[in-house]
């Protein structure tokens, strides 16, 4: 809730109460007040379709209330009748008569003037991966597996550097065009893409993913995405058709090495 808006509406109501306002004023105040609360009173804004639904109900309810007894009907119609019959309000009445169609026209103008928006396809950015995939006739266990060359970092640091360098080659031959020189997703093709490629430099990107998840995304690409991630919304190719398994693993090593991040650990680590 947006406390300030709610407080403001409450203050206006209190003022009306204090001034002993006419029922007609109250009816208008309730309508406007509730509209303001529905429209601006929530920190996560309510969509306009729901707001108009609610306001329809509010309108009917207010109409029902002001006409629900003889006194109330009397109290509401008295100022209205006076407004329409007494000569001193003639100018105001004329202005109202002009204002009503003008408001309708303005409303149409505003409605027509909204910028065009593409239709929305809800998309999951990181859908759950399968437990197992097949790349080049080899089954890769995505749950239990990990980068086979990662362990070299400790046991054979030289060998490991070789793999990282190979990964650098793979990256700059294939990935750089979209993911960019600094891995900040500003490659030269980016402007034609929607959604834009993943920014690896972002702390919340590859560090929250397992390296096997990256392997799945690289090898299967956009076509391999499950239904809810809307295949073909992303232009990522299925790299298994162009790269060897080792090259993909090496590129992954390079990604983490270049950005100074670490892949997310296996689930068991957390439960210990």
Partner 1 sequence: MTVPHSVRIAALVLATTAFYGYVGQLVPQKEVQPPQETVLKADMTTADMVKIGGELMVGKGLCLTCHTIGKSGALRFPDLEGVAARATTRIPGLNEIEYFAKSLYEPDSFIVPGFNPGMPVINKPPIGLTDQEILCVIAFLQTLGGTPTVTLQTSHAYYKAPGATPAAPGGAPGNATPTNATPAKGPVTP
Partner 2 sequence: MNRKLLFVLGPVTGLVMFGAVVLIATFLTNREYKEPYRAPAAIVDATPRAAGLTDEKAAADATNRAKPYVEVEYRAFPVVGSRVAIWAVAQLHLLFAAFVLAVPIFAVLIEAIGYKTGDRRYDRLAHEFTKLLSVSFSLTATFGAALTFMLIILYPKFTNYMMSVFSPTFLPYVGLFFAEAFFLYTYYYGWGKFHPLVHLFLGIGLNVVGTSIMLIANAWLTFMMSPNGISDGGALISTWDAIYNFTWMPINVHRFIANVAFGGSVAAAYAAFKFLHATTDEERAHYDWMGYIGNFVAIIAFLPLPFAGYWLAKEIYAYSQTLGLTMMGGAFSWLFIIQAVLIGNLFLGANYYLWLGMGRVEGARSVQRFIKYLLIAIAVCFMVWATPRSIIATVAEIRAMGGSSHPILGFLGVMSAKNTAVNILILTTFMSFLLYRRTGKTATVSWAKAGHAAQLLIFASAAIIVISLGIYGYFVEASVRIGLSVPQVSSVLFAMVAITTIDVFLFRRPRMTGDVRWGRMPAVSQYVLIFIAVTFTWLMGLMGYVRSGLRQHWHVYGVIRDTSPDAFTPTLGFATQVVSLTVLLFFVLIGFVFWLASLHDLPDYDPVHSPHSPLLAADGHKAERSS
Instruction: List residues near partner 1 by CB under 8 A.
Output: 49, 124, 127-128, 130-132, 134, 137, 139, 226-228
Instruction: Give min distance, CB of 83 to partner 2, in A.
Output: 21
Of partner 1, partner 2, none, which one sits near residue 134, judging by CB under 5 to 8 A according to partner kind? partner 1
What is the rounded CA–CA span in Å between residue 129 and residue 122? Answer: 18
CB atoms within 10 A of CB 37: 19
Please give the angle made by the CA atoms of 213, 219 and 221, to the nearest 5 degrees: 90
Q: Is 32 in the site for partner 2 (CB under 8 A)?
A: no
Site string (215-244) toward partner 2, x via CB under 8 A: ------------------------------
CB 215 within 8 Å of CB 167:
no
| 15 Cα distance to chain centroid | 39
Instruction: Give min distance, CB of 129 to partner 1, in A.
Output: 8
Instruction: Enumerate residues 6+ apart whose C-beta is below 8 A from 126.
Output: 209, 213
Among 113-121, 148-156, 194-202, 223-231, which window interacts with partner 2 (CB under 8 A)?
113-121
Q: Is 195 in the site for partner 2 (CB under 8 A)?
A: no
- Radius of gyration of the chain measured on its C-alpha atoms: 32
Q: Is 124 in the site for partner 2 (CB under 8 A)?
A: no
Of the candidate residues 42, 172, 177, 242, the single one contacting partner 2 (CB under 8 A): 42
What is the rounded CA–CA span in Å between residue 272 and residue 252? Answer: 27
Q: Is 40 in the site for partner 2 (CB under 8 A)?
A: no
Question: Please, which residue, 3 or 64, has the CB nearer to partner 1?
Answer: 64
Instruction: Give min distance, CB of 14 to partner 2, in A.
Output: 17
DSSP state of 88: G
Please give the angle made by the CA atoms of 94, 97 and 102, to the nearest 5 degrees: 120
Instruction: Give min distance, CB of 140 to partner 1, in A.
Output: 12
Site string (44-63) toward partner 2, x via CB under 8 A: xxxxxxx--xx--xx-xx--
CB 33 within 8 Å of CB 21:
no
Instruction: Enumerate residues 6+ apart whose C-beta is below 8 A from 4.
Output: none
Total residues contacting partner 2 (rule CB under 8 A)? 27
What is the rounded CA–CA span in Å between residue 251 and residue 127? Answer: 22
Q: Is 111 in the site for partner 2 (CB under 8 A)?
A: no
Q: Is 126 in the site for partner 2 (CB under 8 A)?
A: no
Residues at the site binding partner 2, with contacts judged by CB under 8 A:
42, 44-50, 53-54, 57-58, 60-61, 64-65, 67-71, 73, 117-120, 122
């Amino acid at each position: 809730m947006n406390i300030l808006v709610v407080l403001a509406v409450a203050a206006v109501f209190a003022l009306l109460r204090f001034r002993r306002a006419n029922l007609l004023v109250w009816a208008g105040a309730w309508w406007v007040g509730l509209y303001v609360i529905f429209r601006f009173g929530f920190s996560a804004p309510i969509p306009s379709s729901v707001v108009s639904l609610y306001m329809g109900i509010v309108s009917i309810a207010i109409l029902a209330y002001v006409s629900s007894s003889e006194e109330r009907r009397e109290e509401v119609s008295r100022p209205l009748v006076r407004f329409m019959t007494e000569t001193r309000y003639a100018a105001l009445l004329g202005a109202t008569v002009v204002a009503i169609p003008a408001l309708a026209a303005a409303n149409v103008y505003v409605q027509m003037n909204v910028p065009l928006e593409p239709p929305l396809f809800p998309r999951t950015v990181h859908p759950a991966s399968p437990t197992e995939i097949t790349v080049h006739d080899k089954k890769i266990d995505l749950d239990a597996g990990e980068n086979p060359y990662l362990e070299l970092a400790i046991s054979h640091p030289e060998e490991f550097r070789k793999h990282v360098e190979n990964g650098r080659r793979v990256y700059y031959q294939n990935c750089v065009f979209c993911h960019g020189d600094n891995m900040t997703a500003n490659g030269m093709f980016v402007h034609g893409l929607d959604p834009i490629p993943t920014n690896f430099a972002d702390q919340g990107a590859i560090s929250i993913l397992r390296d096997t998840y990256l392997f799945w995304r690289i090898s299967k690409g956009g076509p391999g995405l499950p239904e809810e991630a809307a295949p073909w919304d992303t232009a990522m190719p299925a790299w298994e058709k162009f790269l060897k398994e080792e090259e993909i693993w090496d590129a992954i090593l390079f990604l983490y090495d270049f950005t100074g991040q670490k892949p997310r650990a296996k689930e068991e680590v957390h439960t210990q």
